[in-house]
Amino acid sequence: MSIKLRLTVMSFLQFFVWGAWLITVGNYWFGTKQWSGAEFGAIFSTLGFSSLIMPALTGIIADRWINAEKLYGLLHIVGALFLAYIPSVNDPATFWWVIFGAMLCYMPTISLSNSISYTILKNNDYDVVKVFPPIRVWGTIGFIAAMWFTNLTGFKASGNMFYISAASAIALGIYSFTLPKCPPPKLIAKNASWTEKLGLNAFALFGSSKMALFFLFSMFLGAALQLTNMYGDVFLSEFAKNPLFADSIVVKRSTLIMSISQVSETLFILAIPFFLKRFGIKNVMLISMLAWVLRFGLFAYGDPAVGLWMIVLSCIVYGMAFDFFNISGSLFIETTTDASIRSSAQGLFMMVTNGVGAVLGALVSGWLIQKYFTTAAGDRDWHSIWLSFAGYAMVIAVLFAVLFKHKHDPKALESVQH
Tell me whether residue 226 is in a domain. Answer: yes
Tell me whether residue 82 is in a domain. Answer: yes
Tell me whether residue 188 is in a domain. Answer: no
Contact 187, 320 (CB under 8 A): no
> Which of 174, 156, 167 shows the shortest CA–CA distance to 84?
167
pLDDT at residue 393, as a whole number: 92
DSSP secondary structure letters along 191-260: T--HHHHTT-GGGGGGGSHHHHHHHHHHHHHHHHHHHHHHHHHHHHHGGGGSTTTTTSHHHHTHHHHHHH
Q: 130: domain range?
A: 3-183+200-406
pLDDT at residue 21, as a whole number: 84
Contact 87, 25 (CB under 8 A): no
Looking from the CA of 46 toward its CB, the CA atoms found within 13 Å total: 21
- Evaluate if pTM is beyond 0.75: no
Tell me whether residue 195 is in a domain. Answer: no
State the Cα angle at 365 between 359 and 371, rounded to 5°: 135
> Which of 255, 257, 348 shows the shortest CA–CA distance to 28?
255
Rounded to whole angstroms, what are the CA distances from 104 to 5, 94, 316, 346?
A: 28, 15, 31, 16
CATH of the domain at 303: 1.20.1250.20
Contact 69, 180 (CB under 8 A): yes
Distance CA(48)–CA(64), nearest Å, equals 25
pLDDT at residue 329, as a whole number: 79
pLDDT at residue 247, as a whole number: 82
Tell me whether residue 101 is in a domain. Answer: yes
pLDDT at residue 13, as a whole number: 94
Tell me whether residue 411 is in a domain. Answer: no
Total domains in the chain come to 1
Report the DSSP beta bridge partners of residue 374.
380
Contact 172, 163 (CB under 8 A): no
pLDDT at residue 238, as a whole number: 83
Residues 6+ apart with CB under 8 A from 275: 284, 287, 324, 328
Tell me whether residue 232 is in a domain. Answer: yes
pLDDT in tens, the chain (418 residues): 788 889 999 999 999 998 888 877 776 767 666 676 667 767 777 877 887 777 667 766 766 677 878 889 999 999 999 999 988 888 888 888 999 999 999 988 887 888 888 888 888 877 777 788 788 888 888 988 898 888 777 777 777 889 999 999 999 999 989 988 877 765 444 444 544 544 455 666 666 677 788 888 888 888 877 677 678 777 887 888 888 787 887 877 777 787 788 788 778 877 887 887 788 778 888 898 999 999 999 999 988 888 889 999 998 998 888 888 877 777 777 777 766 666 667 777 877 887 788 778 877 887 888 888 888 777 888 999 999 999 999 999 999 888 887 665 555 555 444 4
> Which of 92, 50, 393, 5 shows the shortest CA–CA distance to 217?
393
Tell me whether residue 128 is in a domain. Answer: yes
